[in-house]
Amino acid sequence: MTVLTRQRQSPALGAAGMVLIGLVCQEVGASVAVLLFPSTGPLGMAALRLGFSALILLAVLRPRLRGHARRDWAVAGAFGAVLAGMNMLFYAALERLPLGTAVTLELLGPLVLSVAMSRRLSGWLWAGLAFAGVALLGHGGIDRLDPVGVGLALGAAAMWAGYILLSAKAGRHFPKLDGLALAMGFAAILSLPMGLASAGTALLRPDILLLGAAVAVLSSAVPYALELLALRRLPESTFSILMCLAPAAAAAAGFVILGQGIEVVEMLAIALVIAASIGALRSTSA
């Protein structure tokens, strides 16, 4: 390997490391959120994460508030509603399912979207492989899992697909990341009433606020920053494939932090969904 080749590969390897670190931070943040459920409940925790994430993004990005058409604000509002729904449904699923399982089910959202947008028959074969993995999560039957938890995770998956579509649309209506910052503000406003109804005054405790801020930094601020840096050095196709490793990172975080056991069949199920997601992405971009 020549010195020039090493120099070309080094930035890409560093960027891949950023993506992986971001995934680990995101799942550690989710694990900390689960530990706070007895005090805040899933909806209260979602409100805290979205609230602090909105404050961070609005302070850092300082999006322009004037000069936008009604259609622009409608896109930002819809984007915010999807963000709020995705977070609340996902945290509600975490109350009933192991972290690795919930993230694996949530990954079906972008997987199905990529298959639907693909014109290749192979895309549907990858989808079949993914659903085989999901069946294995229930040890041969999805009914072995909490059905309400599964429904909530699949709802979060649908919201994730909507997030991808609206993220692209917001990028066309707003400069830079202004659309994301404004949408996060809308999401925080939408989630706050339900969070307060669920957790009450617990959301105002200093220790809960501090931990909620930590979850927002770990789950949103750090991953977003690392992903933006990584996208400057990595092709989008490579970045998307690395993001498919989220279920593995979630299962590891659930095992280490939450003490959630991982059986061999569950590891195989997660591996199948990851492989299917990577295959579907490669099929779409080919």
Beta strands in 156-269 (DSSP E): none
Confidence of residue 11 (pLDDT cuts 50, 70, 90): low
CA–CA–CA angle 39, 43, 45 (5° rounding)? 55
Contact 262, 113 (CB under 8 A): no
Average pLDDT of the residues of the chain: 86
Domain ranges of the chain: 13-285
**Residue 282 near residue 237, CB atoms below 8 Å:** yes
* Of 201 and 73, the one with more pLDDT: 73
Residues 118, 127: contact at Cβ < 8 Å? no
Give me the pLDDT at residue 7, please. 44
Of the listed ranges 53-67, 119-133, 245-259, the least confidently predicted one is: 119-133
Residue 85 — very low, low, confident or very high, per pLDDT cuts 50/70/90? very high
pLDDT over threshold 80, residue 149 = yes
As a whole number of angstroms, the distance between CA 29 and CA 213 comes to: 10
What pLDDT is recorded for position 10? 56
> Does residue 274 surpass a pLDDT of 60?
yes
Q: Is 6 within 8 Å of 59 (Cβ atoms)?
A: no
Per-residue confidence band for 284, with pLDDT thresholds at 50, 70 and 90? low
The whole-number pLDDT of residue 221 equals 86
pLDDT over 70 for what percent of the chain?
90
Q: In this predicted structure, what is the pLDDT of residue 278?
A: 83
pLDDT of 35 over the 80 cut: yes
Q: Residue 285's pLDDT band (boundaries 50, 70, 90)?
A: low
Percentage of residues in the chain with pLDDT exceeding 90? 51
User: What pLDDT does 5 receive?
Assistant: 44
Number of Cβ within 10 Å of residue 64's Cβ equals: 12
Residue 13, pLDDT score: 65
At residue 6, does pLDDT exceed 60?
no
Q: Is the pLDDT of residue 141 over 70?
A: no
Task: Choose the most confident range, by mean pLDDT, from 80-84, 262-266, 274-278.
Answer: 80-84
Q: Is 199 exposed, middle or buried (0-12, 13-18, 19+ CB in 10 A)?
A: buried
| Tokens found for residue 93 | 């699923």
Query: What one-character DSSP code corresponds to residue 140?
Result: S
For residue range 118-134, what is the model confidence (pLDDT) as tens digits?
667 777 788 788 888 88
More confident residue, 9 or 118: 118
Task: Examine the pLDDT at 58 and tell me if it is beyond 90.
Answer: yes
Token match 């990954």: residue?
107
The C-alpha atoms of residue 272 and residue 283 are separated, in whole angstroms, by 16
Amino acid of residue 3: V
